[in-house]
Amino acid sequence: MDDCIFCKIIAGQIPAEKIYEDDKVLAFIDKNPKVPGHTLLIPKEHSTWFEEMSDEVSDHVFRIAKKLAREMKKRPNIGYVQVGIVGKDVPHTHLHLLPQIGREKASAL
């Protein structure tokens, strides 16, 4: 999409602090991080919503998200990585990976 900021980042028209890239995805540090290490993972194939991604791309996106989360957890004090799928604020599917300090206990349902 011509007016999509993430498509422009993928095309190299807008700079980004890239931390991972391959033929299907790009990961970079969020310009306005909520926590240190806040990373955005985007598919290079444009889609507004995650369910619009091809199965091949969505499978790859989630495999890379797991890989990045494992790397983030190697940092001191990082207990887990919160992941959110978004597409509303920027109309291009993207995952937020937010490293969190400590270990959150899951509450019983």
pLDDT, tens digit, for every residue of 32-72?
Answer: 999 999 999 999 999 999 999 999 999 999 999 999 999 99
Instruction: List pLDDT tens digits, range 77-105.
Output: 899 999 998 767 899 999 999 999 876 54
What's this model's pTM, rounded to 2 decimal places? 0.89
- CA distance linking residue 31 with residue 52, whole number of Å: 25
Structure token pair of residue 54: 């091809």
End-to-end CA distance of the chain: 42
Spot the catalytic one: 38, 46, 60, 94: 94
Known active-site residue 38: no
